[in-house]
Copies of this chain bind each other. A is one copy, B any other.
Amino acid sequence: MRASSRVLAVALVFATAAAHAADPLPSWNDGPTKQAILSFVERVTTKDGPDFVPPAERIAVFDNDGTLWSEQPGYFQFLYAMDRVRAMAKDHPEWADKYPYKAVIERDREAIAKLDSRELGELLIATHAGMTTDAFHETASAWLKTARHPRFDRPFTECVYQPMLELLRHLRSRGFKTYIVSGGGVEFIRVFAEDVYGIPPEQVIGSRIKLKYELVDGRPTLVRLPELDFLDDKEGKPVAIEHVIGRRPIACFGNSDGDLQMLQWTTIGRTPSLGVIVHHTDADREWAYDRDSHIGRLDKAWDEANERGWTVIDMKQDWRRVYPPKSR
């Protein structure tokens, strides 16, 4: 090898390494999906470009269940509620013969699968209300540290999508403020959102139950009441975005019809803007479901994606890996 060839070879190695190091989304396969996202970020952050958006207005909103972490075989917060029912059962002997508690205590899969939304709501209230906000935080935090996903045998907080973690980081590195806007409970998500997603409590929006403030033995407390205060789903999502953030986002990431309205609110009649849908197409590495699923149904929003120019992530094709490496 001549000296100049050697120099060229070394330069090529360095160039390749640099290109790899510079890829902010290494877990995404190259292709139009990755390209659409990267190019949007580039356009809105290019100073003096026609699509430049000032940092203060770079609001990106993310659904949580099915968009940032998995939602099968059931919403993880429901799995938490069911574990809590079983843990609390010894203090509630009356539950032993009472549906829906009985089904959960006896791990009667068939009966659990048939629970309707009123019964699920009853289980949620029974396990999520009647304690202080601090006590709830501790209990949920302890569960997340020990409970493991039934299929993947790893903590639920590791059933998060590595490609989305990279995307969150990339957006923040380009001056975006990243928010969660979830149908799940705001206080549940806050338990892990900062550690896992890098999203602080004040950037988590979710469903919530009523709270009551009072001095108990001279100490200020907030007690969680057995009443839903706000359901952050469908039409509720743009409403909550307005109430809490007070700005329209410029980027929105969802995976189901529950995200349709916030995708509309983010994108229709607005340039530049980005709407993205995670389509679960990967039964081997995660799950495959859409129009007929009882959880995370993707039907109307998928129909609108074409019309509106939203980007649809094909999990199987677009993601090089799904979950981060296993820690334990």
Contact = CB atoms under 8 A, between A and B. Distances in A.
Contact of A246 (B177, B204, B235): B204
A200 B264 CA distance: 24
B242 A211 contact: yes
A243 B213 contact: no
A84 interface: no
A220 B265 contact: yes
B238 A220 contact: yes
Interface string A222-243: 1000000100000110110011
B245 A215 contact: no
B56 A200 contact: yes
A8 interface: no
A157 to B, nearest CB: 18
A210 to B, nearest CB: 8
Which A-B residue pairs are the 6 nearest by beta carbons? A201-B246, A213-B235, A202-B245, A213-B238, A211-B239, A220-B264
Interface in A146-196: 177, 186-187, 190
B239 A213 contact: yes
A218 interface: yes
B261 A213 contact: yes
Nearest to A218: B268
A243 B247 CA distance: 18
B202 A244 contact: yes
Given A235-B213, A239-B213, A261-B213, A268 B219 contact: yes
Contacts of A245: 201-202
Contacts of A211: 239, 242-243
Nearest to A247: B201
Interface of A: 56, 133, 177, 186-187, 190, 200-202, 204, 208, 211-215, 218-220, 222, 229, 235-236, 238-239, 242-247, 261, 264-265, 268-269
A242 B220 CA distance: 13
Copies of chain A in the complex: 2
Contact of A242 (B133, B236, B242): B133
Nearest to A59: B202
Nearest to A194: B56
Contacts of A265: 213, 220
Contacts of A239: 211-213, 222
Contact of A238 (B222, B238, B244, B247): B222
A246 B190 contact: yes
A268 B208 contact: no
Given A213-B238, A238-B222, A243 B208 contact: yes
A130 to B, nearest CB: 16
Contacts of A204: 246
Contact of A261 (B187, B202, B220): B220
B202 A247 contact: yes
11 contacts: A186-B243, A186-B246, A202-B244, A211-B242, A212-B235, A213-B235, A215-B268, A219-B268, A220-B269, A222-B238, A222-B242
